[in-house]
């Protein structure tokens, strides 16, 4: 299996992880078809096209969710809604961290030298996610405060984890 095909499979597998539940079956179908695509570069093109479809669906699902309350939220009391919001914020932040690690893994497969570069590692797992957390917290603070709080809490926990890691060394 050539490097483009390995990369194609890696990209699609990472995309499946963030696919909304409704389109996960389709994402798996696209991944399965990858085995039948003739040619490594054609496989990579197939994966990129499929990933675009999955990301578009994920973005639509997010947009729907951000627009208004979910079905589960209706009928909950205020504390329940806030707790759900904080939980979703934390889950979203953790999903981002998961995606970052997946991307780092893919990049290290393509550029093996980067794996040993500490600045690239910290940039990918710390600086970029923290910047996104801060941006998301600011953007969501007024509209969906509990979600923003969940994201912020996860960001702080990650930062604390890194601080402890450095102090131990």
Partner 1 sequence: MKLRLSPQTLLVLDAFLVQPEEWKYGYDLSRVTGLKSGTLYPILMRMAERKLLETEWEAGEPGKPPRHMYRFTPEGLGFARANAPGRAGAGLEQVALGMVEG
Q: How crowded is residue 127: how many other Cβ atoms within 10 Å of its Cβ?
A: 11
Q: How crowded is residue 15: how many other Cβ atoms within 10 Å of its Cβ?
A: 24
Distance, in Å, from the CA atom of 160 to the CA atom of 158, rounded to the nearest integer, reads: 5
Question: Residue 35 CB, nearest distance to partner 1 (Å)?
Answer: 8
3-18 and 24-33 are packed helices; what angle lies between their axes, rounded to 10 degrees? 170
Binders of partner 1 among residues 13 to 72 (CB under 8 A) are 23, 25-26, 28-30, 32-33, 36-37, 45-50, 52-53, 56
Question: Residue 33 CB, nearest distance to partner 1 (Å)?
Answer: 4
Distance, in Å, from the CA atom of 51 to the CA atom of 35, rounded to the nearest integer, reads: 16
CB nearer to partner 1: pick between 56 and 105: 56
| Three-class secondary structure of residue 105 per DSSP | helix
**Per-residue interface string for the shown chain with partner 1, residues 101-130, x marking contact by CB under 8 A:** ------------------------------
Q: Which residues bind partner 1 (CB under 8 A)?
A: 23, 25-26, 28-30, 32-33, 36-37, 45-50, 52-53, 56
């Amino acid at each position: 299996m050539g490097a483009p095909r390995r990369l194609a499979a890696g990209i699609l597998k990472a995309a499946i992880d963030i696919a909304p539940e409704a389109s996960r079956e389709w994402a798996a179908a696209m991944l399965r078809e990858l085995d039948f695509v003739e040619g490594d570069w054609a496989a990579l093109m197939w994966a990129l096209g499929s990933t675009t479809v999955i990301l578009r669906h994920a973005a639509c699902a997010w947009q729907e969710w951000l627009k208004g309350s979910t079905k589960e939220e209706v009928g909950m009391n205020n504390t329940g809604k806030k707790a759900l919001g904080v939980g979703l914020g934390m889950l979203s932040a953790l999903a981002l961290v998961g995606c970052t690690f997946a991307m780092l893994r893919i990049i290290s497969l393509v550029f093996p030298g980067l794996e040993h570069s500490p600045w690239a590692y910290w940039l990918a797992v710390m600086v970029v996610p923290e910047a996104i957390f801060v941006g998301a917290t600011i953007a969501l603070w007024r509209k969906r405060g509990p979600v923003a709080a969940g994201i912020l809490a996860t960001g702080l926990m990650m930062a604390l984890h890194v601080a402890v890691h450095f102090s131990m060394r």
